[in-house]
């Protein structure tokens, strides 16, 4: 290349003929986009903050240890509390987790690792995603028919076990889909490495695939259980109590629940019930926070192992 | 130092090392060779490999060379029944491991895969600690001896012990590519196979790591039978005792074994023209 040719190239490089000299328009667009995206995130956070502040302010008059340990009362509402609903929701949360997590993980492992890629299995895959979108009250109707009526001898009719079984059906699709995605993300070379050492399929799944899929699966489980604890429609259909004189002590007992108790209070006109409802919402969110924090801690523990 | 001497005083049998006439390894107690008869392999209806017959000599390194797509990897995966792990894939023919046909109806693929180990092209360590990577295979196969010793021994045979002995609890992923591959070799050795298959083990590694792996292979053949697929002909000429050349004439044909002989002959005076063209670099 001649001297003058090289010089000409450098001149063009210095923002001469071939490229637009000023990049300020592009930087402007970049900045605008950053602002928009941050704003979108802030909208969600601000709305949540406003909700929290509003609810805490309204419920602060009723929030107390007495509130957490008392039964609701229509005659003396200022002495009323959320105790049976809290216990009932905790029972629901625990039983639902115990039922849906193994079932969901097992179904996902079967569909992803054992089932062959046939048309039937592809149909199943599509339909499981659809099931996640079915209105929750429909699951309530399903639970009413199967668990409350047909399986009454096993479940005890309108017991907290029935409620948990119904909610498990509701959230199973979400868990299955999240776990499948997590399993799919594991490269096939891990499986091959396991088989090449003389391992059975189950040994590879249990020792390698499930631990690696756990962070992704836990994300789905967190979302699913959070949804379950807040659902009122399906448990109304399968017989949650709107008032009980006792708190749930076993899986075959009746139960109250936080969302239905809050709904009950909100539909009464007196201010004291509105305040009780706000306090109830705070309690419900606290339960959610604790449950989610535990699951997130569990997820982080497994993620670090990688 | 003193501890090492004590270990060697414990008899080899007590330490669980394979003995002559152990039953687990028939014949003279050294490792086994493999005899392949009329092996064909399919992916669904596509025939990828046809009528391969070859004698893999015990305690020797056999290299398999040939242009891409000739079925070398397919062939080697048939030797430990990994080929059929792919959905729709199957193999026909006989593969004798010592006296046993691994494709017999009564053969147990899981046990075969322990006895015929495999190292893959891209290192694939497990998401576990270095120690667990090596120990896991032995543990699930019911290893009854001292696990710490087994891990140390396997890492030493894979020429990795010195580099990782102080960080056995760290993740396997924290190692470099060459170290990861040696870790994969170590975990294969830990289940005490008879044959070690290597599918282009150094192709994704830098020259220094490649050299280390090649040095390892020289050590390995003293205790194991090694079969290696490689695209690197200089590597094949350097390290192998026997070489097999795979070839297809036209696209879409199944691959076949074109020629098989001692390495020296294959590289200096092969019988067939295609072999000569390939090893001299005229194609492929």
For B173, name the nearest residue in chain A, comparing CA atoms only: A306
The DSSP bridge partners found for residue B244 are B64, B260
Answer yes or no: is A12 within a domain: no
* A75 shares its domain with A55: no
Answer yes or no: is A219 within a domain: yes
* A143 shares its domain with A43: no
CB contact under 8 A, B111 and A193: no
State the fold for domain B32-279: Rossmann fold (3.40.50)
What pLDDT score does B49 carry? 92
Averaged confidence pLDDT in chain A: 89
CB contact under 8 A, A198 and B113: yes
The DSSP bridge partners found for residue B229 are B64, B199
* A32 shares its domain with A134: no
CB contact under 8 A, A197 and B124: no
pLDDT band at residue A11 using 50, 70 and 90 as cut-offs: low
Contacts of A195 in chain B (CB under 8 A): 82, 85, 113
The 10 Å CB-count burial string (b at 16+, else e) for B92-113 is: ebebbbbebebbeeeeebbebb
Sequence-separated (6 or more) residues with CB below 8 Å from residue B106? none
B141 touches A: beta carbon within 8 Å: yes
For the segment B172-187, the average pLDDT, to the nearest whole number, is 92
For A188, name the nearest residue in chain B, comparing CA atoms only: B124
Q: How far is B85 from chain A (nearest CA, A)?
A: 8
pLDDT at B24 over 60: no
For A207, name the nearest residue in chain B, comparing CA atoms only: B136
- Give the global pTM: 0.81
Question: Which domain does A30 fall in, by range?
Answer: 22-59
Return the domain boundaries, chain B. 32-279
pLDDT in tens, A216-274: 899 899 889 999 999 999 999 999 999 988 989 999 999 999 999 999 999 999 999 99
B140 touches A: beta carbon within 8 Å: yes
The DSSP bridge partners found for residue B196 are B117, B226
**Which residue's entry shows tokens 């039964």?**
A71
pLDDT at B104 over 60: yes
Answer yes or no: is A34 within a domain: yes
pLDDT at A25 over 50: yes
pLDDT band at residue A157 using 50, 70 and 90 as cut-offs: confident
Answer yes or no: is A5 within a domain: no
Q: CATH number, domain at A168?
A: 1.10.3720.10
Contacts of B80 in chain A (CB under 8 A): 196
Residue B153, Cβ density class (10 Å: 0-12 exposed, 13-18 middle, ≥19 buried): buried
Question: In angstroms, rounded to a whole number, what is the distance separating the alpha carbons of residues B262 and B213?
Answer: 22
- Domains identified in chain A, total number: 2
CB contact under 8 A, B137 and A197: yes
């Amino acid at each position: 290349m001649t001297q003058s040719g090289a010089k000409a190239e450098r001149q063009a490089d210095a923002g001469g003929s071939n490229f637009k000299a000023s990049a300020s328009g592009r930087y402007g667009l970049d900045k605008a986009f950053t602002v928009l995206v941050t704003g979108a995130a802030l909208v969600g956070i601000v709305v949540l903050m406003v909700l929290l502040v509003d609810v805490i302010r309204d419920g602060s008059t009723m929030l107390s240890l007495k509130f957490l340990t008392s039964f609701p009362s229509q005659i003396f509402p200022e002495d009323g509390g959320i105790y049976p609903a809290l216990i009932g929701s905790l029972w629901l949360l625990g039983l639902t987790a115990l039922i849906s997590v193994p079932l969901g993980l097992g179904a996902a492992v079967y569909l992803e690792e054992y089932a062959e890629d046939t048309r039937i299995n592809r149909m199943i895959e599509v339909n499981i995603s659809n099931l996640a979108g079915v209105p929750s009250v429909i699951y309530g109707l399903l639970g009413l028919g199967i668990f409350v009526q047909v399986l009454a001898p096993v479940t005890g009719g309108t017991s907290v076990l029935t409620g948990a079984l119904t909610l498990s059906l509701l959230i199973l699709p979400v868990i299955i889909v999240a776990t499948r995605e997590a399993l799919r993300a594991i490269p096939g070379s891990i499986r091959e490495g396991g088989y090449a050492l003389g391992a059975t399929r189950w040994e590879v799944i249990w020792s390698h695939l499930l631990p690696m899929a756990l962070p992704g699966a836990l994300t789905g489980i967190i979302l699913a259980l959070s949804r379950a604890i807040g659902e009122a429609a399906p448990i109304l259909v399968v017989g949650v109590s709107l008032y009980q004189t006792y708190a749930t002590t076993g899986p075959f007992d009746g139960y109250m629940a936080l969302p239905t108790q809050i709904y009950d209070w909100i539909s009464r006109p007196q201010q004291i019930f509105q305040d009780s409802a706000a306090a109830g919402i705070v309690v419900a969110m606290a339960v959610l926070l604790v449950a989610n924090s535990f699951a997130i801690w569990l997820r982080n523990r497994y993620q670090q192992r990688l | 130092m003193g501890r090492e001497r004590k270990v060697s005083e414990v008899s080899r049998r007590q330490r669980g090392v394979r003995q002559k006439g152990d039953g687990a390894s028939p014949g003279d107690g050294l490792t086994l060779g493999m005899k392949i008869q009329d092996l064909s392999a399919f992916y669904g209806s596509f025939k990828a490999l046809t009528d391969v017959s070859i004698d893999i000599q015990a305690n020797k390194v056999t290299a398999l060379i040939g242009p891409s797509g000739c079925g070398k990897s397919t062939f080697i995966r048939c030797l430990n029944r990994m080929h059929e792990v792919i959905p729709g894939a199957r193999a026909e023919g006989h593969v004798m491991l010592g006296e046993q046909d691994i494709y017999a109806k009564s053969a147990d693929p899981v046990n075969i895969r322990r006895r015929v180990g495999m190292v893959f092209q891209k290192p694939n360590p497990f998401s576990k600690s270095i120690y667990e990577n090596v120990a896991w295979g032995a543990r699930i196969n019911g290893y009854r001896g001292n696990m710490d010793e087994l891990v140390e021994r396997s890492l030493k045979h894979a020429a990795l012990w010195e580099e990782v002995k102080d960080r056995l609890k760290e993740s396997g992923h924290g190692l470099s590519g060459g170290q990861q591959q040696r870790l994969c070799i170590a975990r294969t050795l830990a289940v005490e196979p008879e044959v070690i298959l290597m599918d282009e083990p150094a192709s994704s590694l830098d020259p220094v790591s490649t050299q280390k792996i090649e040095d390892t292979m020289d050590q390995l053949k003293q205790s194991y039978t090694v079969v290696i697929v490689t695209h690197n002909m200089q590597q094949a000429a350097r390290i192998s005792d026997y070489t097999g050349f795979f070839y297809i004439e036209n696209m879409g044909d199944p691959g076949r074994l074109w020629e098989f002989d001692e390495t020296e002959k294959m590289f200096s005076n092969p019988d067939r023209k295609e072999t000569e063209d390939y090893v001299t670099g005229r194609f492929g």
